[in-house]
Amino acid sequence: MGPQARPGVTALAVAVLALLAERPMHPYEMYQLLIRRGEDVLVKVRPGSLYHTVARLAEHELVRAEGVDRSGNRPERTTYRITELGEQALRNKIAEVIRYPHAEYPMFPLALAEAHNLPAADVTALLQERLRHLRADIEDFDRMTDWATENHVPRRYWIVLPYLRATVGAEIAWIDGFLAELGSGALEWERFDPESGARIAGPEHPWADAGHPERPPVPRRAAAASP
């Protein structure tokens, strides 16, 4: 099978390959370990999708079945081992993601860009609720960091925690500033009819107005991805 036939390595595939780089294990053990380590904050983990991912990795020779284990009345469980191709695919994918900031298209920036479709009061209430969730995330990251420190877990295994804390902290700071600007009236907002809730028609979005003499700037990554 040539390299061009190999699949893209998904986020869950990275998690699976990384577990098997530690030692052979069966899919249910992988699932339990990912949850126990709290790695479901990094990748969406579901038993069905994990089993499907393992099957695809085996199909493309990145992992191989090593044996079947049966304990008591439990169903048979196939143990998998990472192959040399799998180790190379894992390292290549990690290096690729670290090297270049690919656009991942999370939903929050899109919702924020279109938030002017909601009344300012609604946006304020929704963002205040989001802040409560984000501050709870900060508490969770701190609790996990404290546990890792107290239990002398080498930092290389949880270096992602301060990164996550910093990114969430930056989002909290930005939202706090945005809410202050929106609440003071310094930020002009769309107008809505207080009775019907309908938006009062205003000018069209001016950013890419066809009549504008200059083309607006676009991110370099977006431009590079354009056909």
Distance, CA of 13 to CA of 122 (rounded, Å) = 39
Check pLDDT > 80 for residue 157.
Answer: yes
User: What's the pLDDT score for residue 68?
Assistant: 79
Positive or negative: CA dihedral 37, 39, 44, 50: negative
Q: What is the pTM of this model?
A: 0.82
What six digits make up the tokens of 73?
């009345």
- Planar angle of CA 54, 57, 61, nearest 5 degrees: 135
Which tens digit of pLDDT belongs to each residue from 79-92? Answer: 999 999 999 999 99
Distance, CA of 33 to CA of 14 (rounded, Å) = 14
User: What's the pLDDT score for residue 3?
Assistant: 43
Average pLDDT value for residue range 166-179: 98
Check pLDDT > 60 for residue 77.
Answer: yes
Which tens digit of pLDDT belongs to each residue from 91-140? Answer: 999 999 999 888 888 999 999 999 999 999 999 999 999 999 999 999 99
What six digits make up the tokens of 7?
């699949």
Which tens digit of pLDDT belongs to each residue from 198-225? Answer: 888 766 676 666 666 677 777 776 655 5
